[in-house]
Chain A
């Protein structure tokens, strides 16, 4: 099911012209209107006149998440604030959140790319979309919402959580499309089993799952348990939210909406652009966004690009399912977690030392983060209740900082492996 035959099947030549034209306008506009970009381009010695086609993109400087933080909240706006109609931010768990400010036109683009995404999973106006992504500042909920609305499907904006109700509504309203994180999807299946609900008897047909890394084996499990076709979707708040790339019925890589988001793969060490098929960091330029456009944004996600016309007829390049990160970011139940945040929390709490280790596990298809904190003489008490209070206190502080519940476990000193140079902080036991 192709939502936009014209753009999704555009010839490569025509696409390149379109990308070139859009990039030229974008760079000109950013240079004039956003001091942040003018400074960056001046520093890199590039002028808008140097950009004559999409091939010149490699002359432009990269943009990093840390840089975006320095201009929080409105420093990246390329339009007057009065043209902004909606704001989303990253969870802000790493400190200052990253802001995506949308104009009407940006919301229109978002609706368009999400309509394409949902169409890849076969969604039409006949469908009932149960949207179990969280609504709010998180982009997942509203992104799917806008796409489903553009298609004219019936949306159930149930948001995340409340699993029994999800299953009740799924049965009563005969939902046909499910959108949520892949781990939540499996959790739903688990609860359905406990409630003796036969998922094969439901009307669910397909789902768009993303916001966290998953694997082929997880796809098989989802498809077997929920009797749906499971599509991987990709996006990030900084770029637009979900709707940067998605899988068609071939389920062999995610089509990048190249008319809006230009992908490059670079070597994260040398910053050199790599050829198609080579693994590296995904870098994206937003070609059409008005509110907060990004030039060569470093996603820190590792993947590779696969060009060539797909059997589905789409001509856009496909990116492989994510292979990892260039940093130590963990994604726990859709929330980005950096070990450095945990370190900061521990440093703030009296008596704790930043000797910790993170154990990530998947229990009943939900991610759990255990934070092992080394005991020291200041923290130690002969009374169990004091020690338990300490654990609770750290858990509480971590919840405030990360936005997710963790399990804090006090361990003996030196039980956390000290390695030379970088400490081994993360043990990820999840089987994706």
Chain B
């Protein structure tokens, strides 16, 4: 199972990110995880939200360039070596990571790591074989 990540194109302009959060908060969208990748000129905001379809609609309506991307959410133990296990598995199975970011779950003592991977099916297979929990659309 994969998760739909919302990616938003942002120019490096003052207050631009705040405009996005303002829009989303006003529409009852909850941001579960977020990462910002940036260059000197622009940034790409990547988010996992509670309702990606609604989120996409709102942002588009306000003129943002938005894209949905399949990502994998993996649960790792929130202790030393938790992430390393997954990384070693990916590495030994030649699964290439385009980018990743992490957040900590409140309910459990687990961290959730979001991976964007070139070969999603292969990654899922590796994780499944090693009994590593993959998140479904519901985070």
Contacts and interface: CB of A to CB of B under 8 A. Distances in A.
Interface of A: 375-377, 380-384, 387-388, 409-415
Interface string B3-15: 0010101110000
B96 to A, nearest CB: 12
B11 A382 contact: no
Contacts of B91: none
A380 B37 contact: no
A411 B65 CA distance: 10
Interface string B31-64: 0000001110110101000000000000000011
B9 A383 contact: no
Contacts of A388: 39
Nearest to B37: A384
A11 B67 CA distance: 74
A377 B9 CA distance: 9
Contacts of A387: 39, 42, 44
A381 B67 contact: yes
Contacts of A413: 63, 65
A409 B38 CA distance: 13
B99 interface: yes
Interface of B: 5, 7, 9-11, 37-39, 41-42, 44, 46, 63-67, 69, 98-99, 116
Contacts of B66: 377, 380
A38 B37 CA distance: 64
Contacts of A412: 9-11, 63-65
A410 B5 contact: no
B116 A415 contact: no
Contacts of B10: 412
Contacts of B42: 375, 387, 409-411
Given A375-B9, A382-B44, A413-B63, 10 more contacts: A377-B65, A380-B65, A382-B46, A383-B44, A409-B42, A410-B41, A410-B42, A412-B10, A412-B63, A412-B65
A376 B65 CA distance: 6
B35 to A, nearest CB: 10
Contact of B67 (A382, A409, A410): A382
Contacts of B116: 382-383
A414 B9 CA distance: 13
A380 B46 CA distance: 13
A382 to B, nearest CB: 4
Contacts of A381: 7, 44, 67
Nearest to B6: A382
A414 B67 contact: no
Pick the 3 closest A-B CB pairs, nearest first.
A382-B7, A382-B69, A380-B65
B11 A411 contact: yes
Nearest to A381: B67
A369 to B, nearest CB: 15
A412 B65 CA distance: 8
Contacts of B41: 409-410
A41 to B, nearest CB: 54
A413 B59 CA distance: 13
Contacts of B46: 382
A230 to B, nearest CB: 36
A58 B38 CA distance: 60
B65 to A, nearest CB: 5
Nearest to A379: B65
B63 A375 contact: no
B44, B46, B64, B116: most-surrounded residue (chain A CB, <10 A): B44
B39 A380 contact: no
Nearest to B71: A382
A149 to B, nearest CB: 48
10 contacts: A375-B65, A376-B65, A380-B9, A382-B5, A382-B116, A384-B44, A387-B44, A410-B41, A412-B10, A413-B65
Contacts of B63: 412-414
A213 to B, nearest CB: 29
Most buried by B among A387, A412, A413, A415: A412
Contacts of A409: 41-42
B43 to A, nearest CB: 9
A415 B42 CA distance: 13
A376 B9 CA distance: 9
B30 to A, nearest CB: 20
A375 B5 CA distance: 19
Nearest to B40: A409
A384 B38 CA distance: 8
A384 B7 CA distance: 11
Contacts of B65: 375-377, 380, 412-413
Contacts of A380: 7, 9, 65-67
Contacts of A415: 11
